[in-house]
Copies of this chain bind each other. A is one copy, B any other.
Amino acid sequence: MELTDIRELHREKDVYIGKEITVGGWVRNNRDSKNFGFLVINDGTFFEPLQVVYGDGLENFQEICKINVGAAVVIRGTIVATPEAKQAFEMQAAEVIVEGPSTADYPLQKKRHSFEYLRTISHLRARTNTFQAVFRVRSLIAYAIHTFFMERGFVYVHTPLITSSDCEGAGEMFQVTTLDMNNVPKTEDGKVDYTQDFFGKPVNLTVSGQLDVETYAFAFKNVYTFGPTFRAENSNTTRHAAEFWMIEPEICFADLKDDMILAESMLKYVIRYVLENAPEEMAFFNQFVDKGLIERLQHVVNSDFGHVTYTEAIKILEKHNDEFDYKVFWGCDLQTEHERYLTEKEFKRPVFVTDYPKEIKAFYMKLNEDGKTVAAMDCLVPGIGEIIGGSQREDNLEILEKRMEELGLNKEDYQFYLDLRRYGSARHAGFGLGFERCVMYITGMGNIRDVIPFPRTVNNCDL
């Protein structure tokens, strides 16, 4: 049976007016009167539904009147123009078949449900307007990111999830094992006998693919990862999940300036792509989730991002220390309140903060000539603060080894990484973009649990 997507009807209305077609979808609403009624059908292909009029001329009219919200139906009918109604057209049903019924206690009745309630039915919530919009936009953002990099000749690298190295010494990792937890095998000296584990040693879920993907940047020049990463942080906030996706490009023969150009181009590309390809969803977010969203995003697309060094930023912020919970001083980590002040009040547009003190940044960042700061950059955007963090990488073997010694890192674990500086080292840089943070930013959704299909947080791992 040939079904027509409701998306098609909306995108190519003129083609379908007067035509008989068949649609399959789910009932969002059913209002019946004495001798006719209206079904509102969503088939998942388009944000806007299709209104179907049915009359008592249909032999199963009584059955149709009783169709519950949530039922799956297949409807044959003619598309007619409705110039006086809110929607431009509707369908006049010639046949309504119930493919799969629903019940009166269907959990998604036609009323507003709280996000908290919907989180308890994560297998059904994508059937609501808000989550249909969120997860279609999430999908479009993912594709926009791939397309952005592919158009520029980047190679997509799948870095491993299970890893025996701890990228940034970040701690708080999940352990992966096949040992029997009820009866952990021990060696003679009482330690866990990892020779019996699947990989013969303790392994974890990755917190970042950066060090791995750097090895591929030295083969392909321009590469990126886009995959899941994990943090076992015991923090119950609206912005942290234990499992999330990350985008990490890495570019060779490139410095911090090139890195910032790449980040700015990528953000603008992705925002533009979503505004163009999901106008209905974005209008919905703008109206019901985050008023002013579209204007804010358009402003980002049309602005040249600002640039300020950390040292300059501290000078600016120190003048307003009375407005902050955390007082700033040279050497401190910037808090979200400081980041938002810079991007919203001072620059009134996205801004890159560069050249942070080496003490508050990772060991692999390139030491500047002042010996005190590193060639790092954070990209701050209005409404959220930091959305991207990146750096030029230390490409000098001696300086990198010295830095690792200062921090007490075990060089033996990083021989693969040091090899990149031994054999054909080159300027290179990269950044990380938390995918969910990007989805939150573009949709205006306030809780990371509402932009992940099945979110994983402390004490929460449903399905």
For the complex, give the distance between the alpha carbons of A157 and B201 in Å.
33
Between A and B, 15 residue pairs with Cβ closer than 8 Å are: A3-B253, A5-B153, A44-B252, A100-B426, A101-B424, A123-B212, A124-B419, A160-B243, A174-B198, A176-B176, A177-B181, A198-B459, A199-B242, A201-B461, A228-B228
Residues on B with C-beta less than 8 A from A216 are: 126, 135, 453
- Given A159-B453, A191-B182, A454-B160, A100 and B174 touching (CB < 8 A)? no
Given A182-B191, A219-B132, do A99 and B162 touch, yes or no (CB 8 Å)?
Answer: no
Contact with B along A170-194 (1 / 0, CB 8 A): 0000111111011010000001100
Contact with B along A130-155 (1 / 0, CB 8 A): 01100110110011001000100101
**A212 contacts which chain B residues (CB < 8 A)?**
123, 453-454, 463
Q: Assess the A44–B219 pair: CB atoms within 8 A.
A: yes
Contact A174 B182 (CB under 8 A): no
Are B174's CB and A174's CB within 8 A?
Answer: no
> Is A422 an interface residue when CB atoms closer than 8 A count as contact?
yes
Interface residues on A, range: 35 or more
The stretch among A54-62, A69-77, A340-348, A355-363 that forms the contact with chain B is A69-77
Contact yes or no, B425 A99, CB < 8 A = yes
* A275 vs B70: C-alpha distance when bound (angstroms): 45
Q: In the docked arrangement, what's the CA distance between A212 and B135, Å?
A: 14
Chain A contact residues, CB within 8 Å of chain B: 3, 5, 7, 24-27, 43-45, 70-72, 74, 99-103, 106-107, 122-124, 126-127, 131-132, 135-136, 138-139, 142-143, 146, 150, 153, 155-165, 174-179, 181-182, 184, 191-192, 198-203, 205, 211-212, 215-216, 218-222, 227-228, 230, 232, 234, 242-243, 245, 252-253, 395, 416-417, 419-427, 452-454, 456, 458-463
* Cross-chain contact B176 with A181 (CB below 8 angstroms): no
A72-B176 contact in complex given A45-B222, A136-B220, C-beta closer than 8 Å: no
Partner of A458 from B179, B198, B221, B422 at Cβ < 8 Å = B198
Known A127-B218, A139-B150, A157-B453; 6 more pairs at CB < 8 Å: A7-B153, A124-B215, A124-B423, A142-B158, A175-B181, A178-B232
Determine which of B122, B423, B427 lies in contact with A102 in the assembled complex, contact meaning CB atoms within 8 Å: B423
- Known interface pairs A132-B220, A153-B7, A174-B176. Does A163 touch B461 (Cβ–Cβ under 8 Å)? yes
Q: In this complex, which of A99, A199, A212, A425 has the most chain B Cβ atoms within 10 angstroms of its Cβ?
A: A199
The answer to whether B424 touches A27, judged by C-beta atoms less than 8 angstroms apart, is yes
Nearest CB to that of A427 among chain B residues?
Answer: B99
Q: Which of B138, B139, B220, B423 contacts A135 (CB 8 A)?
A: B220
Instruction: Report if A456-B160 is in contact (Cβ < 8 Å); known contacts: A5-B153, A123-B419.
Output: yes
